[in-house]
Each structure stands twice: as structure tokens, then as C-alpha cells.
Amino acid sequence: MRLALKPGLLPVWRDNDTLQIGIDPRRAVAITGIGRVAALIGLLDGSRDRQAVISAARAHGIAADTADRLISLLAAAGVLDDFPAGTLRTLPDALRTRLAPELATTSLAHGDGDGGARALARRSATYVRVYGAGKVGACIATLLAAAGIGHVACRDTGTAFAADLAPAGLCAADIGEPRSAGAARAVGRSAPETRTDDDTRRPDLAVLAGSHGPELAAGLLADDVPHLTAAAGEAIGIVGPLVIPGRSACLRCLDMARAERDPAWPMVLAQLIGRQLSTPACDCVLATSVAAQASAQVLTFVDRGGRADAVTNGTLELVLPDWQWRRRTWHRSRVAAAAARVLGPAAAAGPRRRRAPASGTWTENPASSGQCRS
């Protein structure tokens, strides 16, 4: 383990005896009584383990117990990283340098004391499949790869048009080429170590960028694949919901809620399948904003071990021209809830309900038949 002050926080002196680590009061910590042992701060550069820091401090006239107490104080204040040396050694220098801001950010944002090592391990072991490699989807793929997601595949059978281009996604050379291949090249430009092959393995998470037919989400539900939607059009961006099969509102739940408010919604929805405007109202800034928000939610899901509360049973929505993200709450459909009451909590746990006793009536229950599958 290697001790270092969190690299995302700048240490500054408030007076001769008080060190402030970080500038913004929402992150900063001030430690007093540190004037005579200030030399120890300079030793916390990630090159020494705890014992080596204490030994080096002794050379500066700092007693071992004093150094030990200060290290403990800094750790308790949440401004110290203890990065596993083994993880450091496995990272090539260029990759370590490129990912340093990613690790500094996640370590600070989540208050992790390991310098982002656990998040890095989770990200590098994660396989995300992005369905739709257009203006939003290709940007999501490049952002996730740049953030350290180890395997990002794009699935899209379409051809790239000028309207699909965005600075973080497809480029002019991709026009007329398959969008999925263009997205893979874009990933290669920003994160060459990332796998982009679209194999048949079940992904850890799917992102549905743009519009897709209901069978895609139904298949992901059946396969127990968590999936996040991200779309932009009509000068509105929407990220979410994140569907965690069996545990949160699914896309069907949202459609049922919309149909409750608008009886014509099913008819409108049926006419959307397979249709796309030639000139969608989705400019580069909107597409990139949606891609960034979706990527942030994916990274939260990965870093937090399967949780992304902002988009679980909710959508984040950006309506131009305000550019202010707002959250809308959605609930699992009452149909699903009614079925859960009939069958018990175990049966309500999504696709696992298939393992319910044979006498279970999930699929035969009139209240659930053909309805919410989450």
C-alpha cells in the first residue's frame, strides 16, 4: 500500500500552523497544530508505505508516534489515499497517467481511501454493450472507454450519416460506413486498450441509446441484464430509467404509466417503431450532454456495485433551452405490485420468478398476463 494525499486536493496553509487540504469547502479539510511536522506532508507522495513514511519522517526529526498519529488523522479526515502497490504495478505507465484524473475523481467523489483502486478494478472487468451507435451512443462508448471500462461493444446495423457525427463520437471519415465499426474506431482513438468486439457474452450492463423496439428491452429483462436508456430528440434529453430486472421500474412500467395519463399513448407508441426523423432536433451539445449523463450513471452503477439511485425508478431530463437536469420519479406498475402481492416477494424478484413453484401463477395471473415483466 502506498500513502498519498488525494491528488485531487491542493494543500494550502491557512496560517503557520494550519494546513487546509482542498479549496472548495465542500471538500476541504483543515488540520491545526501541524506546523512543526509539516515535512511529513511532503512524504505522502505515493512512493512509500506507512512504515516507510514514518521512517523517513524520523530523518526530519519527527517522532514515530507523532508521524503515526498524523497519518491516522489525515486518513480519518478522508484526505489520504492508500493505493495498493500491486494494482499500481499492473498498470502500464501510459495507462496509469491517462486514468489518473478518473481515479482521482472517483476516489474523491465517493470518499474511497484506496485512490480509486477498487473502482478501477471494477471498471476494467466490466463489459458494457451499447445498442445504437449514433450521435449519443458512440459518445457514450468513447466516454466509458476513456473512463476505464474494459470492454465496450456497440451494436448497430445502420450506416453513419452526417447527422450522426459528434466530436466525441463518429467522425467525417465514418460517413457511409457501418456505425458500429465507426464507434469501435472512436473508442480506439480515446482508449486503445479497450476491447470493442461484440461477442455473444451476456454484458454486465446494456445501454439503449436512441429508440429501439420493445423486444430489445424484453430480451434484456428475460436475460436479467440491467439496462439504461439514453435518448435525445425534440430538443429534450432523457437519461433513464436504469432497469434492474426484478427490482425497479422497467420500460413497460413507464409506458403503462404514460397510458394511464394518455389513453392514446399505446397507439402513438406503436407508430414510433422503426421510424426516425431525418433531421432530429438533437444538436451536438445536447447529444454530448445526454451521453455524459448516461456515462456518469453507468460509472456510478459500476463503481457502487450495482447502484445508481438517480436513474433507478427515475429519469433525468434536460429540456432546452433551460439546460437544467431535472429528475422525474417513476414507479413499478401497479400490475406488477398486484402480482407481487399474489405471489409473495420472491415471485416479485423479476426474471427469477421463473424459478417460482410450478403452482405459481405469475404468467397465468390475469393481473400480470402480458403486462409488466419486471
Nearer to Zn ion, 122 or 332 (CB): 332
CA 20 to chain centre: 31
Minimum distance from CB of 310 to Zn ion (Å)? 19
- Residue 348 as a binder of Zn ion (CB under 5 A): the answer is no
- Residue 243 as a binder of Zn ion (CB under 5 A): the answer is no
Q: Which of 253, 290, 318, 340 binds Zn ion (CB under 5 A)?
A: 253
Q: Which of 143, 250, 340, 348 binds Zn ion (CB under 5 A)?
A: 250
- Residue 252 as a binder of Zn ion (CB under 5 A): the answer is yes
Taking Cα atoms as reference points, which of 249, 243, 209 lies closest to residue 224?
A: 243
Q: Which of 142, 248, 313, 374 binds Zn ion (CB under 5 A)?
A: 374
Instruction: Report the length, in residues, of the chain.
Output: 374
For strands 205-209 and 29-32, give the pairing. unpaired
Give the span between the Cα atoms of 7 and 134, in whole angstroms: 35
- Residue 315 as a binder of Zn ion (CB under 5 A): the answer is no
Contact region for Zn ion (CB under 5 A) — 34-42, 212-220, 242-250, 305-313? Answer: 242-250
Q: Read out DSSP for 359-372?
A: T--TTT-TTTTTS-
Nearer to Zn ion, 103 or 228 (CB): 228
Minimum distance from CB of 69 to Zn ion (Å)? 54
Minimum distance from CB of 257 to Zn ion (Å)? 10
DSSP H or E run through 50:
helix 50-59
Nearer to Zn ion, 184 or 217 (CB): 217
Contact region for Zn ion (CB under 5 A) — 7-15, 149-157, 193-201, 365-373? Answer: 365-373
DSSP H or E run through 276:
none
Give the span between the Cα atoms of 269 and 252, in whole angstroms: 11
Taking Cα atoms as reference points, which of 195, 373, 227, 211 lies closest to residue 301?
A: 227
User: At residue 33, what is the residue type?
Assistant: G
What are the grid coordinates assigned to 267, written together?
397507439
Minimum distance from CB of 250 to Zn ion (Å)? 3
Under 8 Å between Cβ of 372 and 250: yes
- x/- string (CB under 5 A) for Zn ion, residues 194-233? ----------------------------------------
Minimum distance from CB of 336 to Zn ion (Å)? 5
Contact region for Zn ion (CB under 5 A) — 40-48, 113-121, 150-158, 251-259? Answer: 251-259
Nearer to Zn ion, 107 or 374 (CB): 374
Size of the site for Zn ion (CB under 5 A): 5
Contact region for Zn ion (CB under 5 A) — 23-31, 202-210, 218-226, 250-258? Answer: 250-258
Nearer to Zn ion, 135 or 373 (CB): 373
Contact region for Zn ion (CB under 5 A) — 23-31, 123-131, 249-257, 323-331? Answer: 249-257
Taking Cα atoms as reference points, which of 311, 175, 323, 326 lies closest to residue 249?
A: 311
- Residue 372 as a binder of Zn ion (CB under 5 A): the answer is yes
Minimum distance from CB of 243 to Zn ion (Å)? 8
Give the span between the Cα atoms of 213 and 243, in whole angstroms: 16
Looking at beta carbons, which pairs linking 39-44 to residues 24 or more positions away fall under 8 Å? Answer: 40/67, 40/70, 40/71, 41/5, 41/11, 44/3, 44/4, 44/5, 44/71, 44/74, 44/80
Query: For binding to Zn ion (CB under 5 A), which residues are involved?
Result: 250, 252-253, 372, 374
